[in-house]
Amino acid sequence: MKRTTRLKQILQRPELDFILEAHDGVSARIVEDAGFAGIWASGLALSASLGVRDNNEISWTQVIDHVEFMADASGLPILLDGDTGHGNFNNVRRFVRKLEQRGIAGVCLEDKIFPKTNSLLPGEPQPLADPYEFAGRLKAARDSQADDDFCIVARTEALVSGMPMGEAFRRAEIYREAGADAILIHSRQTTAREVLEFAQSWGDRGPVVIVPTTYYATPTDVFKRAGFSLVIWANHMLRTAITAMEKNAKTIARDESLFNVEGEIASLSRVFQLQGMDELSAANARYLRPNSQERVVILAASKDEEFGALTRERPKCMLEVNGRPLLVRQLELIRACGFYRISIVRGWQSQAIDVEGVEFVENPDYASTGVTHSLALALEQHPPGDALIASFGDIVYRKFLLQCLLDESADLAVVVDLDSRDTDASPRGDFVKLSHQEGLGGLLEEAPPRVLGASRDEPDGEMIGLLRASPVGVGWLHEAIGSLASAGRARTAKLADLIEAVVQCGHPVAAVPIHGHWVDVNELRDLVDAAEY
């Protein structure tokens, strides 16, 4: 349904509905996520967000530019606070045409004189336009719209300016006859007495909109019984943001640290979500040329009891470091290297892995199986002839480590950290023996070193959980998994067991030697270490 049609239905249906203020793309998306029926693009909020007064100090073209971003960010219908229409009937005609072009569902015009004064400013005069001149603006707006469902709301400021109820009613009737889809009756009293009196007199002549900024204590049931069509919560997103920003700015200035605010603010992953980064990742997969024929498999099925309540409702790969889940960080790195054909093996709390642009492989037996079983499930769906990159879902590493792996031309290669040899410090590590290590000056005695097999007895290094296989190497992995299955070990085998099985089948496994620059997240302190990456 068109957004214009949706807004018109909101105004015309008998039930009371609600829309909330937004002033930019992010706030518009937040309003949508909160479940509102529509968005009020507030003139006060738009002006204040730019640091200027609500006296038409931003031009109509600047208003249109800002609400276009809001329309792009959210699918909700937007009712724009159009002030006076930014001039006479001629300005209004062009204004309406441009709003329609930018996807705005409707405009609210008020019967003031340009430039307007904010209705809630104490002590300020509120001069009104001649009602028939304003009716001409409304008629011009109606005649200019290309979409019959584009909504025009006429806002009378008669009560705000101190005029009697009879004048407010007279103006509203003139505006209804001029073609307004609804009447917004505005009041700055602290009770709803005025708007309720208007509604009683108005009856069923047409939809009535209210803005309870000053009479916020009135129960919503009162508005429902009075027959109002729409309530606008007109400036509360902006005011919420100001309060939060002032509080945290003072805290950061006082503490000279982020420690006391980090836990109270939105995570970076939420920021990226509001920006639509998942959609961009999916689009990359559709439109960008993938890096050769390689597919990436991320093994992310585990829960890990070490993290207690942190993994009660999400898998370990979704734990956050610096505001971004481990899995999201790795996906960004992998895509930055040109890989968009990605599968994720998930198990524990699989619904919590909701990233876009990937395929999912389910491991329902995650609690009783290891990474080899997860990899085997992924290989069952791996297209013949495609090369493979496989990665643990709970590691954090520098981008250049993946690039080093990509530079290795062997049919099967694994990244091995030569600085990690303490089996007691890493009891679950995949330790291996190598044919040789790096020589003096960082030069290799022969290149590349080869994995001789798994070893926890004076190992030469630890595999970090990152491997690459050519189509030939993928065949070796299938063969090794079959060998482990014959021995009844495939379901629980670790990566070290799998690589040793490849070696025992007579195939060479190249080691890509590194010295640190990665973290295997297995306990809480690892999350702290991972923050450096």
- Tell me the DSSP string of 1-22: --HHHHHHHHHHSSS-EEEEEE
| Domains, the chain | 3-234 (3.20.20.60), 236-265 (no CATH), 268-396+520-533 (3.90.550.10), 399-464+471-516 (no CATH)
Residues near 255 by beta carbon (within 8 Å), at least 6 away in sequence: none
Active-site choice (24, 54, 417, 430): 54
Residues of the chain with pLDDT > 90, as a percent, come to 71
Does position 527 have pLDDT exceeding 90, yes or no? Answer: no
pLDDT value of position 440:
36
Does position 442 have pLDDT exceeding 60, yes or no? Answer: no
pLDDT in tens, 280-322: 777 766 666 555 568 899 999 988 777 888 888 899 899 888 8
470 against 385, higher pLDDT: 470
CA-to-CA distance for 462 and 196, rounded, in angstroms? 74
Does position 269 have pLDDT exceeding 80, yes or no? Answer: no
Section 241-259 average pLDDT: 94
- The single-letter DSSP state of residue 290 is P
Least confident range of 94-98, 186-190, 433-437: 433-437
pLDDT value of position 443:
44
Section 170-191 average pLDDT: 97
Please provide the DSSP assignment of 56-114 as one string. T-S-HHHHHHHHHHHHHH--S-EEEE-TT-SSSHHHHHHHHHHHHHTT--EEEEESBPS
Q: Judge contact between 406 and 468, C-beta under 8 A.
A: yes
CA-to-CA distance for 316 and 307, rounded, in angstroms? 8
- The single-letter DSSP state of residue 383 is P
Quick one: the chain helix, strand, coil %, rounded to 5? 40, 20, 40
pLDDT value of position 441:
39
CA-to-CA distance for 30 and 398, rounded, in angstroms? 33
Section 210-230 average pLDDT: 97
Section 473-489 average pLDDT: 95
pLDDT value of position 288:
64
pLDDT value of position 439:
44
Residues near 14 by beta carbon (within 8 Å), at least 6 away in sequence: none
For residue 142, the SS3 value is helix
| Biggest distance spanned by C-alpha atoms of the chain | 97
CA-to-CA distance for 415 and 462, rounded, in angstroms? 8
373 against 423, higher pLDDT: 373
Least confident range of 209-213, 476-480, 515-519: 515-519
Round to the nearest angstrom and report the end-to-end CA distance of the chain.
Answer: 45
Least confident range of 20-34, 215-229, 257-271, 340-354: 257-271
Residues near 208 by beta carbon (within 8 Å), at least 6 away in sequence: 182, 183, 184, 185, 198, 199, 202, 227, 228, 229
Is residue 204 very low, low, confident or very high in pLDDT (cuts 50, 70, 90)? very high
Is residue 446 very low, low, confident or very high in pLDDT (cuts 50, 70, 90)? low
Section 1-9 average pLDDT: 96
CA-to-CA distance for 406 and 383, rounded, in angstroms? 20
Active site residue 54: yes
pLDDT value of position 283:
74
φ, ψ (nearest 5 deg) of residue 291:
-75, 100
- The single-letter DSSP state of residue 219 is -
Is the bond preceding 115 in cis, omega lying within 30 degrees of 0?
Answer: yes
From the list 141, 131, 136, the residue with the least C-alpha distance to 168 is 131
Query: Dihedral of the CA atoms 104, 107, 113, 115 (nearest 10)?
Result: -20
Q: What are 485's two structure tokens?
A: 């299955």
Does position 330 have pLDDT exceeding 80, yes or no? Answer: yes
